Amino acid sequence: MSIDAGYDNENIFAQIIAGAVPSVKVWETGDILVFMDAFPQSNGHCLVIHKTARATNILDIDDGALSALAVAVKKTAAAVNKGLRPDGIRVVQFNGAPAGQSVFHLHFHVIPIYDGVSLGRHGDGGPAPADALEAHAARIRGAL
């Protein structure tokens, strides 16, 4: 999908927001949802999305909603740091399929980095077990 594509109301994140597809939630507000990536690149990999802004990528979102997302990414990264104690944290955001975007709802990845542990490939491999995702989410929630 190109960077200029319109928003698809049936994308997987829209379905998660609507409750039609389950997710392991970390925290949420009226506008923000943070949940575990079902296909994590590392233990504790979270996704941060805006629930009401229907933006495909960073070029589509209004500044107020983007500001709310940025604050949510910082809050999530701080909780990941405190709860999981990684050696580093990578924050990633893709725009358009050629750039690596695979879900066309603006989202940020918060990926804990652990020395000596290789990252999985973005969107590759099978889903993580729900109990493992919940265990990481619980540790992150406890650090909020």
Give the model confidence (pLDDT) of 86-118 as tens digits.
999 999 999 999 999 999 999 999 999 999 999
Residue 101's nearest CA partner among 9, 16, 17, 4 is 4
122 is known as an active-site residue = no
Query: Looking at the domain assignment, is residue 102 inside a domain?
Result: yes
Query: Looking at the domain assignment, is residue 112 inside a domain?
Result: yes
Query: Looking at the domain assignment, is residue 75 inside a domain?
Result: yes
Cα distance between residue 144 and residue 104, in whole Å: 28
Q: What is the pLDDT of residue 126?
A: 80
Judged on CB neighbours under 10 Å (0-12, 13-18, 19+), 20 is exposed
Q: What is the mean pLDDT of the chain?
A: 95
Cα distance between residue 8 and residue 56, in whole Å: 8
pTM: 0.95
Cα distance between residue 140 and residue 144, in whole Å: 7
The answer to whether 107 touches 72, Cβ cutoff 8 Å, is no
* Range(s) of the domain holding residue 128: 12-142
CATH number, position 45: 3.30.428.10
Query: Looking at the domain assignment, is residue 17 inside a domain?
Result: yes
Look at the chain and report how many structural domains it folds into: 1
- Please give the torsion angle defined by the CA atoms of residues 96, 51, 59 and 1, in that order, rounded to the nearest 10 degrees: 20
Q: Which residue has the higher pLDDT, 2 or 143?
A: 143
Residue 113's nearest CA partner among 71, 83, 84 is 84
DSSP 8-state symbol, 98: G
Cβ-proximal residues to 68 (8 Å cutoff; 6+ apart), any chain: 31, 32, 50
Query: Looking at the domain assignment, is residue 6 inside a domain?
Result: no
Q: What is the pLDDT of residue 78?
A: 98
Q: Which of 45, 50, 105, 107 is catalytic?
A: 107
Q: What is the pLDDT of residue 4?
A: 86
Mean pLDDT of all residues in 57-78:
97
Q: What is the pLDDT of residue 123?
A: 67
Mean pLDDT of all residues in 67-84:
98
Query: Looking at the domain assignment, is residue 16 inside a domain?
Result: yes
Q: pLDDT at residue 122 above 90?
A: no
Query: Looking at the domain assignment, is residue 4 inside a domain?
Result: no
